[in-house]
Amino acid sequence: MSERHGVLETWPTGKDVTHFEDGVKYQQTIPENKNFARALRIADEQGITLSQPRAGVALLDEHIALLKVLEQECDLLPTTIDAYTRLNRYEDAAVGIQKSLEAGTSKLNGLPVVNHGVAACRHLTESLQKPLQVRHGTPDARLLAEISLASGFTSYEGGGISYNIPYAKRVTLEKSLRDWQYCDRLIGLYEEHGIRINREPFGPLTGTLIPPFMSHAVAIIEGLLALEQGVRSITVGYGQVGSLTQDVAAVKALRELSHDYFHQQGYDDYELSTVFHQWMGGFPEDEAKAFSVIAWGAAVAGMAGATKVITKSPHEAFGIPTAAANAQGLKASRQMLNMVRDQPFPACRAVDLEVELIKREVRAVLDRVFALGNGDIARGTVLAFEAGVLDIPFAPAACNAGKMTPVRDNAGAIRILEPGAVPLPDDILAMHHDFVAARASVERRPASFQMVVDDINAVSHSKLIGRPE
């Protein structure tokens, strides 16, 4: 039995996509203004920042109603997939649908696209006017990809690292990287039939004090793995850390490094865009304070020249936002994006130094990943995680070393308290040490894990740096 046949058999709705050509034919009926890749290409050419929320509820009609509210305020639409579907637990998703019907409200934290199937999801994509993307967190996303793409979604988030390490405990990288090569190959097949589907590695990872160089390394690896399979529209992403100069530098470095590595590997016929995720850590409960965090994220995304910003809502501290709250986050973000649109962040020495630092750090890590894989990027990635060369702070995955410990410096930038086995050059390690020591002396306390804990809680307590009381 072919792999594809096996994938389609894992749930009855797999029958809906038996003939790949049917999905291609359907995608050819979608007007170009609803193609996600095209919208990003145009925005990037124009140098504007598009806005996109996260959103997903259990039942189809409610999800359509939700997206109709949001599409008034955003440029690009999501469909967030529920947690059961992300773990291929379609039976549990079916129970969640039933419970939602009985309760008259969503009992799932996203739309169970696999359970709903192609006909229903085509009704969804046809009901909306803006490009739609599937956002999820699925280590084995093969069936979800088959059904989503045949249903008219034109962008697919995730990757074999970014949807495993932060989202799963016991899924091996060998398996998730291989399953994501299937997803990328499927999108490569759509590309060969003239349908351009956008791919967006999940930049923020655990969203907890991730040093820019580490998330950039993962984004570039997943971009290369996608290019290898024929994907040609790639959005690399980054989660805001809250330091203005580090965030502006991170977006600049991410774009430039992605081009460097994609060209180095022989690709030049791709479209690249960047996405900036508004603060992914803990939020203040007070809605006015939450709007401040949201607006700060929008301001920096715009000034940094990100192609897209993923917005938050004033309900972030509580859970899934109502449509109204989600729309408020979009409106606050749009206001700010409009106000910063004509004032890109000016070139300055602090940003330039941070760009150079991030570039050196990314190169040190990726050089080792490529060396370990001896030219095979997927294999190098598996070995790099085993060796702790790639190491994602606070990730649940058993295959992640969890040795590298981040902490903020005295100005709020993310630095390294403990490098673990991440192969940074000695002079850079010394620089991180000095950054952290300077904060320790100002705070008159030793550099310690307590600082890390204080930083994790800082934003929800209306600060950026977790200073002692």
Ligand X SMILES: CCC[C@H]1O[C@@H](n2cnc3c(N)ncnc32)[C@H](O)[C@@H]1O
Catalytic positions: 86, 157
Q: How far is the CB of 105 from ligand X (least distance, A)?
A: 13
* 55: contact with ligand X by CB under 6 A: yes
Site for ligand X in 108-127 (CB under 6 A): 109-110
Q: How far is the CB of 230 from ligand X (least distance, A)?
A: 27
Question: What is the b/e burial string over 383-421, where b = at least 16 CB atoms within 10 angstroms of the residue's CB?
Answer: bbbebbbbbbbbbebebbbeebbbbbbbbbbbbbbbbee
The dihedrals phi and psi of 277, each to the nearest 5 degrees, come to: -95, 125
Residue of 27, 35, 49, 80 interacting with ligand X (CB under 6 A): 80
Q: What is the 3-state secondary structure (H, E, C) of 111-163?
A: CCHHHHHHHHHHHHHHCCCCCEEEECCCCCCHHHHHHHHHCCCCEEECCCCCC
Stretch touching ligand X by CB under 6 A, among 49-57, 114-122, 140-148, 358-366 = 49-57
Binding string to ligand X for residues 404 to 443, with x set by CB under 6 A, is what? ----------------------------------------
Residue type, 333: S
Compare residues 239 and 412 and give the one whose CB is closer to ligand X.
239
Rg, C-alpha atoms of the chain: 21
Q: Which residues contact 101 (CB under 8 A, 6 or more apart)?
A: 59
Q: Are 207 and 280 in contact (CB under 8 A)?
A: yes
Residue 467 among known ligand-binding residues: no
Q: Are 92 and 84 in contact (CB under 8 A)?
A: yes
* 316: contact with ligand X by CB under 6 A: yes
- What is d(CA 321, CA 292) in angstroms, rounded to the nearest whole number? 17
- What is d(CA 111, CA 120) in angstroms, rounded to the nearest whole number? 11
Q: Are 462 and 284 in contact (CB under 8 A)?
A: yes
Stretch touching ligand X by CB under 6 A, among 48-56, 92-100, 141-149, 349-357 = 48-56
Q: How far is the CB of 312 from ligand X (least distance, A)?
A: 6
Residue 157 among known ligand-binding residues: yes
Stretch touching ligand X by CB under 6 A, among 23-31, 50-58, 155-163, 426-434 = 50-58
Compare residues 54 and 432 and give the one whose CB is closer to ligand X.
54
Residue 322 DSSP one-character state: P
* 71: contact with ligand X by CB under 6 A: no
* 54: contact with ligand X by CB under 6 A: yes
Q: How far is the CB of 132 from ligand X (least distance, A)?
A: 14
Q: How far is the CB of 326 from ligand X (least distance, A)?
A: 6
Site for ligand X in 231-270 (CB under 6 A): none
Compare residues 109 and 292 and give the one whose CB is closer to ligand X.
109
By CB under 6 A, the count of residues binding ligand X is 10
For 161, 193, 395, 396, the CA distances from 168, given in Å and listed in that order, are: 10, 34, 9, 6
Q: Are 456 and 406 in contact (CB under 8 A)?
A: no
* 321: contact with ligand X by CB under 6 A: yes
Residue 163 among known ligand-binding residues: yes
What is the H or E stretch that residue 327 is in?
Answer: helix 323-340
- Strand ranges, E, within 351-399: none
Stretch touching ligand X by CB under 6 A, among 26-34, 314-322, 428-436, 454-462 = 314-322
Torsion-angle region of 129 (φ positive above 0: left; ψ -120 to 50: alpha; else: beta): alpha
Compare residues 308 and 359 and give the one whose CB is closer to ligand X.
308
Residue of 34, 39, 50, 56 interacting with ligand X (CB under 6 A): 56
Q: Which residues contact 184 (CB under 8 A, 6 or more apart)?
A: 199, 225, 226, 228, 229, 230, 231
Q: How far is the CB of 455 from ligand X (least distance, A)?
A: 19
Q: How far is the CB of 283 from ligand X (least distance, A)?
A: 8
The annotated binding site for adenosylcob(III)alamin is made up of 56, 109, 166, 283, 312, 316, 320
The annotated binding site is made up of 54, 56, 86, 109, 135-136, 157, 163, 166-167, 283, 312, 316, 320
Q: What residues line the site for ligand X (CB under 6 A)? A: 54-56, 80, 109-110, 312, 316, 320-321
